[in-house]
Amino acid sequence: MQRFAYGCGIFFSLLSYSSIISAQFVTWNENIPSSLALFQQNPQQLADLAQNNILIYAQPYTKTNVPTQKKNPQPTVQFVSAALIVPVSTQEVARVLTDYNHYVGLFPTLKSAKIEEKNGNTTQVKYKIQIPTPIPVLNFNEDISMQHQIGNNSIASLITDAPVPYGLGKFEWFSLGPQKTLITLTQWGDLNQINGFLLRKILSAVPDAKLGIPIGSNAFILESLQRKWTKTQTAALDANQLPSLQLTSNQIRKISEISRSTGYPVSFIQPASSIPYPQGRETMRFTTTYQYYTKTPQQLQNWLNPASFQSLFLRQIKKVELSSPAPQLQDANFRVSVGLGVINIPFDFKMRFNHIDSNQSQYNAIGGDLRFVKGGMQLLPQNNNGTLLKMTSAAKIDEKAPFLLRAMRSLPYHDMLPAAGGNAVFSLKIKEKMK
């Protein structure tokens, strides 16, 4: 259930940022797939799909070169890509992304960057990442090394020393016209081999977090770039309204094709929206996620019912109490405890589900420790007897939440990362159950 990730997804996503930053001078023939591989190498096609959102999607499994992984230097892995349009020239994007010293200030949590060696277009950089929290046991303070290699309209990076020791990533940038550039990031990190004590303890206690980390990591980095170059705009929504995506039928088919071929969700992190509440309007960040299943809508309808959520997260959801205040309405009281290996975070919250029809529902927080949760789910039948699950959701921890949850407000992008990672975890857990 995505609400589980709302409680702890922020922390996982911030930690995952370290899985694409690192270094050590090695011989590396970079063969990371281009972000355009699923779009006929056409940047405009990808840009048309991304629009004014951060778009995140996976690549098909492929062999890649990881020379630092001595036992298996050519593993078969799945890269995850992200795309963003910014209103600046490709020259400006190249200037910023190739200036490693000034990553400090660009990416939150990055406190220092030291160039240790440089040879032509290859540079070894040592970074220091600090993630302070009001809970000392969750503080993260690590030195991370990376080898960067500048290519044509790209920078490829290889982890050489980090809590996540094996990983690769590549920025690419493409001109869409004067003062308009498509930036993409494609990356992979081996979350099954962890050196850092804190991250290893957390992922051992909550292995499902691995499902949301790739999206959270991509979202963290592209959100930083978006905030540098794009002015914040907030759309005012009505109380029962969710933000919409302006997608054509061909684009929906493309999304279905990508998710079907990769087995991974396609997510759109949307611009900010303001939602009316009794105490005033709250700014929230919605993520809309599409996941393809080789099942009919009828076979998936059970997952719109909160009674089914506990079966997805038996270790975290301790109890669910259901009631029906009116026809089509269902109230669910969730009792949750998220064990992070070094600390437990308990919280309770109450959600109201409006079952619009058998293939569609909306939900809102109506009490408990999470006051600002809102979203909806819809099953979209596809021509091949499959189904797209569409999820639009936002979650925000407010200043009145219990201390252990409220502490997460000190982390960057706490209003965006939980829903982005939570949607992915929820959709992929359903996929596991439907095998």
Same domain, 217 and 308: no
| pLDDT tens by residue, 264-285 | 999 999 999 999 999 899 999 9
* Nearest CA among 88, 81, 97 for reference residue 36: 81
Domain boundary among 187, 213, 229: 229
* Nearest CA among 96, 336, 343, 338 for reference residue 224: 96
Same domain, 202 and 147: yes
Same domain, 155 and 253: no
Report the percentage of the chain scoring pLDDT > 70: 94
Domain boundary among 229, 249, 276: 229
**pTM of the predicted protein model:** 0.93
Same domain, 64 and 164: yes
Same domain, 70 and 92: yes
Q: Write the CATH number for 86.
A: 3.30.530.20
Domain residue limits at 35: 2-229
Same domain, 178 and 265: no
Chain-centre distance for alpha carbon 15: 12
Instruction: Determine the Cα–Cα distance for residues 383 and 298; give it in Å rounded to an integer.
Output: 15
Same domain, 38 and 150: yes
Same domain, 222 and 246: no
Same domain, 243 and 312: yes
Domain count, the chain: 2
Mean pLDDT by 10 residues, the chain (435 residues): 44 41 71 98 99 98 97 97 99 98 95 96 95 81 94 97 95 98 98 86 87 96 98 92 96 98 98 94 97 97 95 91 95 89 84 97 94 96 94 91 79 92 97 91
Same domain, 282 and 427: yes
| pLDDT tens by residue, 9-60 | 433 444 444 433 434 489 999 999 999 999 999 999 999 999 999 999 999 9
Report pLDDT for 24.
44
Pairing label, strands 360-368, 122-131 = unpaired
Contacts of 300 (CB under 8 A, 6+ apart): 293, 379, 387, 389, 430, 434
Same domain, 257 and 198: no
Using CA atoms, how far residue 403 sits from 206, 375, 387, 394, in Å, is 21, 25, 40, 21
Instruction: Determine the Cα–Cα distance for residues 43 and 36; give it in Å rounded to an integer.
Output: 6
Instruction: Determine the Cα–Cα distance for residues 419 and 286; give it in Å rounded to an integer.
Output: 7
Domain boundary among 198, 229, 260: 229
Same domain, 16 and 108: yes
